[in-house]
């Protein structure tokens, strides 16, 4: 195979091409690689294949749609399936989210949500609200808005000139106090107060348009919010008229043991971003959800006949993505996958925490069907030890995500108990072998 023509994303291209890992097909919980090996998918692809691979209803819906209507313009034009997909998504969204704006990825959802926040304040005459606040270790994709409000150093530092008018509050990872917590850790709700301090000390509260956070930070290594933290953030935003955006690109669609983190954690944002699991990873699609108040404010501010929100993509509500989304949401509902995630969560938690005490295991964090196993960084540098463990697991037939020194697990919600045991026993053996 000629590997030359492709510039791989978020990859060490040179190293990878010396020893490529190539997947050729997938079904249910398993990938097959180019050597014919079965590999258990411990990370739902990239946190997206929540209903498992190759689900017949989803693949058929896409195939049929491609024959019926492959593409149609969606600017001042439309197609039936776009409206149907929005209706289905809004139906299963948390209470109070009445409108869906479709994008093609989590990154586009991030930038779209920031622009919606600006448009909303402008429509209300609060044109001074132009600043955004994100968090250290936050991840909101790779477009300019998302990179700017994101807080993973490695993703930002290479690009010096990001958006102005952005600030960050600290992350909530505190292994010293919260190490090996199960579910939401006990300590750290007070870090939310840093938001209020910061907006008074360094900014004017009336200059802040929105705060954007992931209810649980996935890409920075499964950082679960401390008990009470999200509610305090919510209260501060409400008090100062600041919109709160939840980036549920990972946490949506059952991942935290229920439908949305908004519901499992009991805190409702003003704007909710999703992607990934929306189409079970089959066709790229994301969405930004808002309530009628935000939609009506933006739309009613424009004169009749004018475009109210000058934003959208050629592939907004792409017919194949809409077909995939409708079928995926049907599968989640009919197969009870969000309930299944909740039922399996205690088993998943117990299996993850069984690795406590193994050499170099520094912390274990979990919620729903997500777990992060953080290792001590070796003298060779960040990610080297966990990278070796990840490679050994792959050789032993289990795929997982590596973020920094954390192994991240987020299997499809169809995972069974034996597969959960296989995932964590494979990690345990690999950790011992690397020690
Ligand atoms: N937001 C969050 C919370 C994510 O985890 C991701 C991807 O992992 C994104 C946004 C970006 O999504 P995409 O890669 O589809 O652009």
| pLDDT tens-digit map of 381-420 | 999 999 999 999 999 999 999 999 999 999 999 999 999 9
Q: How many whole angstroms from 301 Cα to the centroid of ligand 1? A: 31
- 124 in Cβ contact with 159 (< 8 Å): no
What pLDDT score was predicted for residue 1?
85
Q: Cα angle vertex 89, ends 85, 94, to 5°?
A: 170
Residues lower than pLDDT 50 in the chain: none
Closest CA to 263 of 96, 48, 50: 96
> Which residue from 249, 251, 262, 272 has its CB within 8 A of the most atoms of ligand 1, so it is best to mutate?
249
What pLDDT score was predicted for residue 160?
79
Strand order in the sheet with 271-274: 99-103, 286-290, 271-274, 243-247, 208-213, 131-135, 166-169
Other Cβ atoms less than 10 A from the Cβ of 68: the count is 11
What pLDDT score was predicted for residue 364?
98
What is the phi/psi pair of residue 431, to 5°?
-60, -45
Domains and CATH numbers, the chain: 13-55+336-434 (3.90.1150.10), 60-334 (3.40.640.10)
ipTM summary value: 0.99
Q: How many whole angstroms from 249 Cα to the centroid of ligand 1? A: 6
Tell me the C-alpha distance between 147 and 151, whole Å.
8
Q: State the pTM of this model.
A: 0.98
Question: What is the atom index within ligand 1 of the atom nearest the CA of 251?
Answer: 3
| pLDDT tens-digit map of 107-139 | 999 999 999 999 999 999 999 999 999 999 999
Q: How many whole angstroms from 9 Cα to the centroid of ligand 1? A: 13
| pLDDT tens-digit map of 72-95 | 999 999 999 999 999 999 999 999
Question: What is the atom index within ligand 1 of the atom nearest the CA of 108?
Answer: 16
277 lines ligand 1 (CB under 6 A): no
User: What percentage of the chain has pLDDT greater than the value 70?
Assistant: 100
């Amino acid at each position: 195979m000629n590997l030359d023509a492709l510039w791989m994303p978020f990859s060490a291209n040179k190293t990878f091409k010396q020893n490529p890992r190539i997947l050729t097909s997938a079904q249910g919980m398993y990938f097959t690689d180019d050597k014919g090996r079965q590999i258990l998918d411990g990370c739902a692809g990239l946190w997206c294949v929540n209903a498992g691979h190759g689900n017949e209803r989803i693949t058929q819906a896409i195939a049929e749609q491609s024959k019926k209507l492959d593409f149609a313009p969606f600017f001042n034009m439309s197609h039936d399936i776009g409206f149907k997909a929005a209706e289905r998504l809004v139906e299963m969204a948390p209470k109070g989210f009445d409108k869906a704006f479709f994008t093609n990825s989590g990154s586009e959802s991030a930038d779209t949500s920031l622009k919606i926040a600006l448009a909303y304040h402008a429509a209300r005459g609060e044109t001074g609200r132009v600043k955004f606040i994100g968090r250290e270790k936050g991840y909101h994709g790779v477009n300019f808005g998302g990179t700017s409000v994101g807080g993973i150093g490695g993703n930002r530092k290479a690009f010096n000139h990001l958006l102005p008018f952005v600030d960050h509050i600290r992350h909530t990872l505190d292994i010293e106090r919260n190490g090996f917590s199960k579910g939401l850790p006990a300590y750290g709700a007070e870090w939310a107060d840093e938001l209020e301090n910061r907006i008074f000390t360094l900014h004017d509260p009336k200059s802040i348009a929105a705060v954007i956070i992931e209810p649980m930070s996935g890409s920075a290594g499964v950082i679960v919010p401390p008990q009470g933290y999200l509610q305090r953030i919510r209260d501060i935003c409400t008090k100062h008229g600041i919109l709160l955006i939840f980036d549920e690109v990972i946490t949506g669609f059952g991942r935290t043991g229920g439908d949305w983190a908004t519901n499992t954690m009991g805190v409702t944002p003003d704007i909710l971003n999703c992607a990934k699991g929306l189409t079970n990873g089959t066709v790229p699609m994301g969405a930004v959800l808002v309530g009628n108040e935000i939609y009506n404010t933006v739309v009613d501010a424009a004169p009749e006949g004018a475009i109210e929100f000058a934003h959208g993509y050629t592939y907004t509500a792409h017919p194949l993505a809409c077909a995939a989304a409708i079928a995926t949401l049907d599968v989640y509902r009919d197969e009870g996958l969000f309930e299944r995630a909740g039922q399996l969560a205690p088993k998943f938690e117990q299996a993850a925490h069984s690795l406590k005490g193994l050499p170099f295991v520094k912390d274990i964090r979990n919620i729903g069907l997500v777990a992060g196993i953080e290792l001590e960084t070796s003298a060779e540098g960040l990610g080297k030890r966990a990278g070796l463990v990840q490679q050994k697991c792959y050789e032993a037939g289990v795929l997982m995500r590596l973020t920094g020194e954390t192994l991240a697990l987020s299997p499809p919600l169809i995972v069974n108990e034996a597969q959960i045991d296989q995932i964590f026993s494979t990690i345990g053996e690999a950790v011992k072998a690397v020690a």
